[in-house]
Amino acid sequence: MSDPRRWQIGLVGYGEVGRILAEDLRQQDIKVAAYDIKLGGEQDAPLRDHAAKFDVALAASHAELTARSDCIVSAVTASQTVPVAKACAAAINQGTWFLDFNSASPGAKQRAAALVDDAGGRYVEGAVLTSVPPYRIKVPLLLGGPGARELEPFLNAIGFSAKVASDKLGVSSAVKMCRSIMIKGLEAMVIESFTTARAYGVEDAVLASLAETFPAIDWEKQGAYFFQRVIEHGRRRAEEVREVAETVREAGLTPWSAQGTAERQAWVADLADEGLFGVRGTKEFARSADWRTEADRILARIKREG
């Protein structure tokens, strides 16, 4: 099928990214189906409500979704990159595209590709280079693999902002992972630095010093943004940074920074899951424009724990 607007797109993962892609594709009247392991669980109702609102067909399994799709987009947590590829490969049709959106190491992408390609599918890795929500389907996307150049115009025709980084698998993911060492690491460092500064009452002096050294950054605004992103998405970010650490290991280095970042992100995610920052899904959860509010919650919790 040469016209991508007549494709059926299958989304594996109906979380934040999957729902954004579904909305933007449905606005173009492109057929979309989705499967998520959360269907049938506690989050079943909101997923089904969203699907009904945007006329997205929900599948009962990876196999059902794969069998009915012309192009699969895998947008799941990093640890599920290879398992999802394996589950989809079991039912994939000859020539079906498989776009791997996941934040995984080059090695994980290569293992996923082998599963899909050996089953007759056409695997292309995708590396998302920044946060999806502000850009939505237009988020910068690097493609890699032998089929990347063929898939690129199809994706751009249905709204993506994709470009080929390399015909070799792993290059796009390496760009993403190396970038994440910095971005996710900076998030973790800001939370650690700002919360510690707040504990000692020196936050104003620290921010003033940072502003002098890096005048282009609004540290108040950036700090609030980093706190909120980690509070809301720390679990997913921690998994991604574990893949970052694996990328570093694959290069022969010890991932001291990445390991620490993953631990800090997961620690904040644990606090969020315990309700420290409010109830998920409400306006009160993780919506403070002042990072000090969240830092004070963390410090109060530490004090209670002795």
Angle (nearest 5°) at CA 103 between 280 and 93: 105
pLDDT at position 260: 97
Q: How far apart are CA 167 and CA 172, in angstroms?
A: 10
pLDDT at position 131: 85
Q: How far apart are CA 130 and CA 229, in angstroms?
A: 12
User: What is the Rg, in whole angstroms, of the alpha carbon atoms belonging to the chain?
Assistant: 20
Q: Whole-prediction pTM value?
A: 0.85
Give start-end residues of each CATH 3.40.50.720 domain in the chain. 4-168
Q: Which fold has domain 4-168?
A: Rossmann fold (3.40.50)
Q: How far apart are CA 261 and CA 187, in angstroms?
A: 8
pLDDT at position 46: 92
Give start-end residues of each CATH 1.10.1040.10 domain in the chain. 173-304
Q: What residue ranges of the chain have pLDDT lower than 70?
A: 1, 279-288
pLDDT at position 1: 52
Name residues whose C-beta falls within 8 Å of residue 7's C-beta, 6 or more positions apart in sequence.
Answer: 1, 30, 31, 69, 70, 71, 154, 158
Q: Which fold has domain 173-304?
A: N-(1-d-carboxylethyl)-l-norvaline Dehydrogenase; domain 2 (1.10.1040)
Cβ atoms of 282 and 244 closer than 8 Å: no
DSSP lists the bridge partners of residue 10 as: 33, 72
DSSP lists the bridge partners of residue 95 as: none
Q: How far apart are CA 150 and CA 164, in angstroms?
A: 10
Name the DSSP class of 61. S
Please report, as a single letter, which amino acid is at residue 112: A
Q: Beginning with the edge strand found earlier in the chain, give each strand of the sheet holding 97-100 in spatial order.
A: 57-58, 31-35, 8-12, 71-74, 97-100, 122-128, 140-144, 161-166
Name residues whose C-beta falls within 8 Å of residue 53's C-beta, 6 or more positions apart in sequence.
Answer: none
Q: How far apart are CA 112 and CA 99, in angstroms?
A: 11
pLDDT at position 255: 97
**Helix or strand or coil: residue 201?**
coil
Structure tokens at 106: 């080059």
